[in-house]
Amino acid sequence: MKILVTGGCGFIGSNLVRYLLEEAGEGVEKIVNLDLLTYAGNPANLSDLENRDDYTFVQGDIGDTELVPRLLKEHEVDLVMNLAAESHVDRSIDSPEPFIQTNVTGTLRLLEAARHHVAERSGEAKDRFRFQHISTDEVYGSLDRDEPAFTEKTPFAPNSPYAASKASADFLVRAYHHTFGLATLTTNCSNNYGSFHFPEKLIPLIILNALEGRPLPIYGDGSNIRDWLYVGDHCRALWLVATRGRPGETYNIGGDSERTNIDIVRTICRLLDERRPRPGKGYESLIEFVKDRPGHDQRYAVDFSKLNAELGWSPTQTLESGLEKTVDWYLEHLDWCRDITNNNYQRQRLGTTP
């Protein structure tokens, strides 16, 4: 397969590109990574792959109606894996428009380009084409403590501008399958964590703040629950769905690891206490309960029994094993973290000196 990955310089995208090139096996012929390099895109995440013949990076927008059709044609793309997005809920509350631009309009333009690309193919090449859209459990809204986990049949009820933009894109993908017969696959996953996670999100933010002795901010009372999915398990699921999923279907991907935010933060503190003890008090003393996120969803939980039954997938990491790996990765990559916190990663790609 010749694959166009969008958003490949982000957190999940860079893990996915690495997985496809190093672990997925023979099915992967080449990868084109199309990424606009917003604040969340960091080419350093993949700098070690730059010289490979089977990997090409292109800086550009999924909404570019000249560039995207050209890339699909030139690289004879068989599979689009669409991860490009504005992904941070808090930013969508401060400024929703970029979320509509990339997540909705951008996805629409990518779908249009894919539809025309397929129309120009014939025979096996036409049949082989797939458009995979990577979405979120947040489209389903929020659960009470004792409600059953989201299934693929749970009605959409997005609560943040981010979630609404992702739900809109999911509906467009559905419509392109139904109306135009495009061979789409949609996956809705829970909260990912692991290496290269941008430190605006809870887990990397807590690790880095703790190491710098800064406060560990917990929104509200810390009782909100997320279902944590190790990014490596997610990438494996994405490739399974891309190669063996049924076109037109959606698949939920969950981590089987529901935890409250306060539990997550305390576990990170304990792991850091063991690895980098602070003089005086332990890391938990840095915890601060702060003003809640507006409209903060109480609980996400994902039922992935369809993916398990059809394709035999289940997560391999427990939250404990995955968090250990993650904390160790951050401790071993403090330079990567520093380049982000002091903005060097953006200066470097603009060609300016710090």
Question: CA-CA distances (angstroms) from residue 165 to 98, 114, 292?
Answer: 10, 20, 22
Q: Which two tokens stand for residue 31?
A: 């990868």
- Shortest approach of ligand NAD to residue 41 CB, angstroms? 3
Cα Rg of the chain (Å, integer)? 20
Residues near ligand NAD (CB under 6 A) are 6-7, 9-13, 34-38, 40-41, 61-63, 83-85, 87, 102, 106, 134, 136, 166, 189, 191-192, 198
Residue 226 binding result from ligand TDX, ligand NAD, none, given CB thresholds of 5 to 8 Å by partner type: ligand TDX
Question: Which one, 24 or 135, has the nearer CB to ligand TDX?
Answer: 135
Residue placing its CB nearer to ligand TDX in the complex, 98 or 217: 217
Instruction: State how far the Cα of 312 lies from the Cα of 236, in Å rounded to an integer.
Output: 11
Which helix (H) or strand (E) is 288 found in, with range?
Answer: strand 287-290
Q: Which of 115, 131, 126 minimizes the C-alpha distance to 180?
A: 115
Q: Is 162 a catalytic residue?
A: yes
Spatial contact of 191 and 154, defined as CB atoms under 8 Å apart:
no
Q: Which is nearer to ligand TDX, 107 or 136 (CB)?
A: 136
CB-wise, 91 or 121, nearer to ligand NAD? Answer: 91
| 97 labelled catalytic | no
CB of 162 to ligand TDX, least distance (A): 7
Identify which of residues 21 and 208 has a Cβ nearer to ligand TDX in the complex: 208
Q: Which of 61, 78, 86, 137 is catalytic?
A: 137
- Does 137 qualify as catalytic in the annotation? yes
CB 209 within 8 A of CB 146: no
Could you say which of 19, 55, 140, 162 is catalytic?
162
Cβ closest to ligand NAD, residue 49 vs residue 85: 85
Q: Which of 141, 150, 138, 153 is nearest to 99 (CA)?
A: 138
What is the nearest approach in angstroms of ligand NAD to the Cβ of residue 231? 8
What residues line the site for ligand TDX (CB under 6 A)? 87-89, 136, 138, 191, 201-202, 205, 217-219, 224, 226, 261, 293
Q: How far apart are CA 224 and CA 191, in angstroms?
A: 13
Gap between the Cα atoms of 270 and 277, Å rounded: 9
Active-site residue (options: 35, 138, 256, 258): 138
Sheet holding 79-82, edge to edge: 55-59, 30-35, 2-6, 79-82, 130-136, 184-189, 250-253
Residue nearest to ligand NAD (CB): 10
Distances from the Cα of 130 to the Cα of 112, 155, 186, 261, angstroms:
13, 25, 11, 36
With residue 229 as reference, give the H or E element that holds it: strand 229-230
Amino acid 47 reads: S
Phi, psi of 5 (to 5 degrees): -100, 125
Which of ligand TDX, ligand NAD, none lies near 41, with the C-beta cut-off 5 to 8 A by kind?
ligand NAD
- 208, interface contact from ligand NAD, ligand TDX, none, CB < 5-8 Å by kind: none
Q: Cβ 59 to ligand TDX, closest distance in Å?
A: 22
Among ligand TDX, ligand NAD, none, what does residue 322 contact (CB within 5–8 Å per kind)?
none
Enter the tokens of residue 196.
């290269």
Minimum distance of ligand TDX from residue 139's CB (angstroms): 9
Q: How far is the CB of 268 from ligand NAD (least distance, A)?
A: 16
Catalytic residues: 137-138, 162
